[in-house]
Structure 1
């Protein structure tokens, strides 16, 4: 074999060795990636990061709408409420409905709450765009309650969802004593929502 042919053969062997090493490394790397991907897919190991689109929104998150400065409490006789019991305590929806009626509210219905969301507050006062002031007004009657905004609600009816923290409903005279001028103040951390009627 000539020296030239020998050099070419050596070069080819070296290239074949490099290609073999390269392909073996790529194959091994792809195999490892596939194994890791399968483990993540089957949730054996967690993702090293959580993409924003994969995060489940907190079903218990309260979105409290803001109200305009200088807003006044709504006349309770013009407020219609539904009262729901989201606890395992029996009879409290009827009890609250009776107390609210005594203070002048109109009560449309009382039922157990069918939602899966845990209500930790004393009550969650749920309103759409048209009932925000009425919801804030209603919240004055149930200590530690929070106003929650649901844009899908199209009417002015307020839903009072009683939670595990529920204790009592204040009488109208007690609310008047605490807030004689009937001024409503936006809750801390409230969010601006679309225009609404008072």
Structure 2
């Protein structure tokens, strides 16, 4: 007389079979996902989802610089009044540049965080129309990318140049000795694509009085 099959053994056989199928399926899916990820990473396949992240907007993008005055020449570097602003989260950045400028003989009137917040460029020099020659002279102090802009809020006759240090700035300044070697009277070349400055310095009271007297 034959004995019946062991039900426990049959159960274990089926369980093992199901486990084999499940584990095999999981491994197959994982292998497929890995292959797809590698293809996306290598650029063979496009990413199925674009999170929309982008780099921080560059403050220097599409900025047009004002042209220096016609026949302008560099000023005596030590005669240029300067403000230095930190447009980054790096503590002490403006102070370090201000110290170098002061050691080179320039007068630094103010050192502070930039009132407009963060600046994503390297170095921006702002001034009035009257200070454009000063700004283009001061640009020679820095070794990296420098943008010159007119500050419409600044008094039109104020020759002070404000230095704004941005996220891309990294000790891009001449040494004290090198700054001292910059010569006055050198021709200032206009940057490519510059436009004529439109802000005209306001007439002084004496000039207005003279005009009224002539009338």
* TM-score for the superposition, normalised by structure 2: 0.56
Q: 2:160: which partner in 1?
A: 157
For residues 80 and 187 of structure 1, the distance between their equivalents in structure 2, rounded to whole angstroms, comes to 23
Q: 1:36: which partner in 2?
A: none
Q: Unmatched 5+ residue regions in structure 2?
A: 1-58, 202-215
Residue 120 of structure 1 and its aligned partner are, at CA, apart by 2.5
For residues 81 and 65 of structure 1, the distance between their equivalents in structure 2, rounded to whole angstroms, comes to 19
For residues 146 and 131 of structure 1, the distance between their equivalents in structure 2, rounded to whole angstroms, comes to 14
Q: 2:33: which partner in 1?
A: none
Q: Is the 8 A contact 1:74 1:133 kept in 2?
A: yes
For residues 115 and 73 of structure 2, the distance between their equivalents in structure 1, rounded to whole angstroms, comes to 32
For residues 162 and 107 of structure 2, the distance between their equivalents in structure 1, rounded to whole angstroms, comes to 12
Q: 1:189: which partner in 2?
A: 193
Residue 60 of structure 1 and its aligned partner are, at CA, apart by 6.5
Q: Is the 8 A contact 1:93 1:162 kept in 2?
A: yes
Q: 1:108: which partner in 2?
A: 109
Q: Is the 8 A contact 1:69 1:185 kept in 2?
A: no
Change beyond 3 A, Cα 1:105–1:179: closer
- Match of 1:93, SS? helix
Change beyond 3 A, Cα 1:75–1:196: farther
Q: Unmatched 5+ residue regions in structure 1?
A: 1-57
Are residue 167 (structure 1) and residue 170 (structure 2) matched?
A: yes
Q: Please report the RMSD computed on the Cα atoms of aligned residues, expressed in angstroms.
A: 2.7
Change beyond 3 A, Cα 1:185–1:175: farther
For residues 194 and 178 of structure 2, the distance between their equivalents in structure 1, rounded to whole angstroms, comes to 25
For residues 72 and 121 of structure 1, the distance between their equivalents in structure 2, rounded to whole angstroms, comes to 26
Matches within 5 A, 1:130-149: 130-143=130-143, 144-149=145-150
Q: 1:99: which partner in 2?
A: 100
For residues 73 and 197 of structure 2, the distance between their equivalents in structure 1, rounded to whole angstroms, comes to 18
After TM superposition, what 4+ stretches of structure 1 lie above 4 angstroms from structure 2? 58-61, 175-181
The alignment of Structure 1 onto Structure 2 pairs a total of residues equal to 139
Matches within 5 A, 1:53-68: 62-68=63-69
For residues 96 and 88 of structure 2, the distance between their equivalents in structure 1, rounded to whole angstroms, comes to 13
